[in-house]
């Protein structure tokens, strides 16, 4: 499966508007995608993200996560375990990481060249080490996420959209650019910024079997506009590669 996923990834060109990213339709083989959406864990196995310690207490309570690690996967039935173990095998394969990182090498190299003194202390300047984190996500009615670039520790961000149909098409990730071209120089990196300081450039459609991927930079401004559809449930598979703290 990894070769088909990487072939699908490589066939799509990088879009630099408003920052380097790719949107790949049909990222997984069709049969595997059907297995994936049919084997999602029940909602009672998910935890509100603001109760996990991963985010601040004021993070939107309408986001629920199911961590994809050995402990949590072992709680699932045999068919579910097979599906998600297969995903983890792909995500932890060095070929998967190397091919994708190489594709975005220009943006990655530019970011590294602009490391702050703090980032250099935390991550070094070469021979970087990485950690991986993956989880299933459910966003429910009235969930929203303000404009942000992601934590400086994030290296590559993958958002796999996994709805059953096209009915939530308009609930995709919003991509922004600051109204002030010098915004990133005048403002410290923080959680969320005031949306009034940004122009909405476009939105990635929330369609089945779609991957939105980008390297984290000081310009990767994105968010989620308010989901306000009765009984809406927005299912995603998240994957992040993090720069490992060398201290």
Q: For residue 210, how many C-alpha atoms fall within 13 Å in the half-sphere facing its CB?
A: 19
What pLDDT, on the 0 to 100 scale, is given for residue 215?
Answer: 98
Element (H, E) at 109: helix 105-113
pLDDT digits (tens, 9 = 90+) for 12-56: 999 999 999 999 999 999 999 999 999 999 989 998 877 665 655
| Contacts of 181 by beta carbon, 8 Å cutoff, 6+ apart | none
pTM above 0.75, yes or no: yes
CATH code at 120?
A: 2.60.120.620
Q: In whole angstroms, give the CA distance from residue 159 to residue 157.
A: 7
Per the structure, how many domains does the chain have? 1
Buried b (16+ CB within 10 A) or exposed e, 116-153: eeebeebbbeeeeeeebebbbbbbbeebbbebbbbebb
Residue 184 belongs to what domain range?
Answer: 2-243
**pLDDT tens-digit readout, 58-93:** 556 678 999 999 999 999 999 999 999 999 999 999
Give the whole-angstrom CA distance, residue 44 versus residue 63.
Answer: 13
């Amino acid at each position: 499966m990894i070769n088909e996923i990487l072939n699908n990834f490589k066939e799509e060109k990088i879009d630099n508007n408003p920052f380097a990213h790719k949107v790949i339709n049909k990222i997984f083989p069709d049969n595997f995608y059907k297995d994936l959406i049919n084997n999602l864990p029940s909602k009672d196995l998910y935890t509100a993200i603001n109760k996990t310690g991963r985010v601040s207490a004021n993070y939107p309570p309408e986001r629920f996560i199911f961590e994809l690690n050995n402990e949590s996967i072992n709680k699932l039935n045999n068919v579910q375990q097979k599906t998600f173990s297969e995903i983890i095998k792909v995500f932890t394969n060095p070929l998967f990481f190397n091919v994708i990182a190489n594709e975005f090498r220009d943006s990655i190299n530019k970011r590294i060249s602009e490391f702050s003194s703090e980032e250099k202390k935390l991550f070094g300047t070469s021979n970087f080490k990485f950690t991986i984190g993956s989880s299933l996500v459910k966003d429910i009615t009235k969930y929203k996420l303000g404009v942000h670039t992601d934590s400086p520790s994030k290296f590559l961000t993958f958002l796999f959209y996994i709805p059953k149909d096209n009915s939530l098409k308009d609930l995709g990730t919003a991509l922004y650019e600051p109204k002030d071209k010098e915004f990133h120089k005048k403002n410290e990196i923080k959680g969320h910024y005031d949306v009034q300081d940004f122009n909405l450039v476009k939105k990635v459609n929330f369609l089945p079997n779609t991957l939105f991927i980008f390297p984290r930079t000081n310009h990767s401004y994105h968010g989620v506009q308010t989901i306000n559809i009765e009984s809406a449930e927005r299912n995603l598979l998240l994957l992040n590669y993090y720069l490992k703290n060398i201290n």
